[in-house]
Amino acid sequence: MRLLSYFRGEAFQRGVHPPSCKLTASAPIRRLPFPERVVVPLSQHIGKPPRAIVKVGQEVVRGEPIALADDWLSVPHHAPVTGVVESIGLRPGARGPWSESIVIRALPGATQEDLWGKPRDLSQAGPAEILAAIRDTGMVGLGGAAFPTHAKLTVPEHAKVHTLVVNGCECEPYLTCDHRLMVEQPDALIVGIRYAMRATGAVRAIVGIEDNKADAAAAITAALARCGPVPEGTIHAELVPTKYPQGAEKMLVMALFGTEIPAGGLPVALGMVVNNVGTLAALGQLLPAGRGLTERVVTITGPGVARPGDYLVPLGTPLRFVLDYAGAGNAEAREVILGGPMMGQAAASLDVSITKGVSGVLVLRGDVLADTLRRKTYPCIKCGQCVESCPMGLNPSTLGMLAAKREYDLMGSDYSLGECFECGCCSYVCPSNIPLVQQFRVAKQMLREKAVAKQS
């Protein structure tokens, strides 16, 4: 297999090639109108949710902080619209449980300009100052994980970072928001990359782009030529062969540098920090303007959408409003997915809102779903397709059989279940239609609970 991947020029071993279905790759980013009411959940990212600092009835200006972080691994939130705080309380959350949210009613007469931000000069700022400024923007990883960006860019003590890897792979089918950002805003991206390089001390930045987005790489290369040499070091845009899950940071580092990040380690072990293009492009716009994150680009697409496209959506916009605008309010739509089709999460209700980590809204129609519905689940026939597709080199076939017997401890100890990052390749290829990833999620949750119980 190693030999075959070598001849095929593959960037990393195994993985799958799902149909790309990038319906919206050539349409420019459009702005979504402001909804009547936005719902900003306090818990939008990994880490402690921030604390609301506004009161019911208070008027807020677009871009004004409405929740402040009192923990290091947390970021503030900013008002996405100019309006009046209507209520603060529990609302349905995207992940299922109800969560504390701030509801703001937009003022119909407001121009919705961001008047709060004060431009500032960070050209002489040191790393600590830049990191603090990044935290003030409320930035989290916009690729989907929603990990606070300042925490990701903080280099641990005794570690040295020499390379900033910018993740522009966007390997999920259907999603094109990062692609459009790279094509339309390469200058902002370069500004963001330079801030990130200064914050981490990296001397080279490499933008990894899958080769189905050659125009994005060309746009970045052209912008680099326009802006001339940057004092921070060198920036390259690099095409890597298209394959899912290239966007996983371990896979991208493998594709670019040909080395495996040791199990259980972070890229910083190799002197690297990986960041998403969407995050850095947003930073490139927000940091010089001194503004906070109030909107993001979301791909609204899928067979169930009449007007698919990449939309600039105010954070907190209810899903129902987004879908109505994009033409998906019809009865045929059967499943609404936040994120891409491989790793995205099905929304439980249309009342949840777009948060910082939502990169796409995918609407699948009933007749498309019926194909998977009608499929029968067979016992594992041990065809080995999952073993040949697992990018982490696990054995999902055996893991699945162990999961059916609830041998969770054995899965964790002997079959490296902890390495699984739930990319979904094994479930995607399984001819027996076994929900392997779901079984692994349950198993990992059980193991985590066991570990917590042991500690206390």
Tell me which residues in 314-373 interact with another protein (CB under 8 A).
329-331, 333-337, 339, 341-350, 362, 364, 369, 371-372
Among 57, 108, 109, 258, contact with another protein (rule: CB under 8 A): 258
Query: How far is 255 from 180, CA to CA, in rounded Å?
Result: 22
Among 228, 405, 453, 456, contact with another protein (rule: CB under 8 A): 228
Q: Closest separation between CB of residue 192 and another protein, Å?
A: 19
Tell me which residues in 369-428 interact with another protein (CB under 8 A).
369, 371-372, 375-376, 378-388, 390-395, 397-398, 415-416, 419, 422, 424, 427-428
Residue that is written with structure tokens 């603090």 in the block: 132
Q: Closest separation between CB of residue 392 and another protein, Å?
A: 4
Q: Report residue 336 CA to chain centroid gap.
A: 17
Of 55 and 376, the one with the shorter C-beta distance to another protein is: 376
Query: How far is 240 from 244, CA to CA, in rounded Å?
Result: 11
Q: Closest separation between CB of residue 79 and another protein, Å?
A: 29
Binding mask 161-200 for another protein (x = CB under 8 A): -xx---------x---------------------------
Tell me which residues in 238-257 interact with another protein (CB under 8 A).
238-240, 250, 254-257
Q: Closest separation between CB of residue 86 and another protein, Å?
A: 25
Q: Closest separation between CB of residue 428 and another protein, Å?
A: 5
Binding status of residue 232 toward another protein by CB under 8 A: yes
Of 373 and 453, the one with the shorter C-beta distance to another protein is: 373
Binding status of residue 453 toward another protein by CB under 8 A: no
Residue 429 in tokens: 């290829």
Binding mask 125-164 for another protein (x = CB under 8 A): -----------------------------------x-xx-
Query: How far is 193 from 203, CA to CA, in rounded Å?
Result: 11
Q: Closest separation between CB of residue 379 and another protein, Å?
A: 4
Tell me which residues in 20-49 interact with another protein (CB under 8 A).
none
Alpha helices in 148-200 (DSSP H): 149-153, 177-184, 186-200
Strand order in the sheet with 345-346: 30-31, 309-314, 295-301, 360-365, 333-338, 345-346
The half-sphere exposure of 351 on its side-chain side, counting CA atoms within 13 A, is 10
Q: Look at residues 171, 161, 146 and name the one whose alpha carbon lies nearest to residue 12.
A: 171
Q: Closest separation between CB of residue 14 and another protein, Å?
A: 9
Residue that is written with structure tokens 């050209």 in the block: 123
Tell me which residues in 93-122 interact with another protein (CB under 8 A).
none
Of 89 and 156, the one with the shorter C-beta distance to another protein is: 156
Query: How far is 194 from 166, CA to CA, in rounded Å?
Result: 11
Residues found in the chain: 456
Q: Closest separation between CB of residue 91 and another protein, Å?
A: 18
**Strand partners of residue 166:** 207, 275
* Number of Cβ atoms within 10 Å of the Cβ of 148: 24
Asked if residue 76 has a cis previous peptide bond (ω within 30° of 0), the answer is no
Query: How far is 337 from 365, CA to CA, in rounded Å?
Result: 11
Query: How far is 51 from 71, CA to CA, in rounded Å?
Result: 10
Query: How far is 392 from 398, CA to CA, in rounded Å?
Result: 14
Report the sign of the C-alpha dihedral through residues 428, 430, 434, 436, in that order.
negative
CA-to-CA separations, 306 to 25, 210, 314, in angstroms, rounded: 16, 27, 21
Q: Closest separation between CB of residue 191 and another protein, Å?
A: 16
* Number of Cβ atoms within 10 Å of the Cβ of 184: 17
Of 183 and 423, the one with the shorter C-beta distance to another protein is: 423
Among 121, 157, 229, 456, contact with another protein (rule: CB under 8 A): 229
Among 156, 262, 351, 367, contact with another protein (rule: CB under 8 A): 262
Q: Are 308 and 349 in contact (CB under 8 A)?
A: no
Of 202 and 298, the one with the shorter C-beta distance to another protein is: 202
Q: Closest separation between CB of residue 156 and another protein, Å?
A: 17
Of 104 and 220, the one with the shorter C-beta distance to another protein is: 220
Among 53, 115, 266, 270, contact with another protein (rule: CB under 8 A): 270
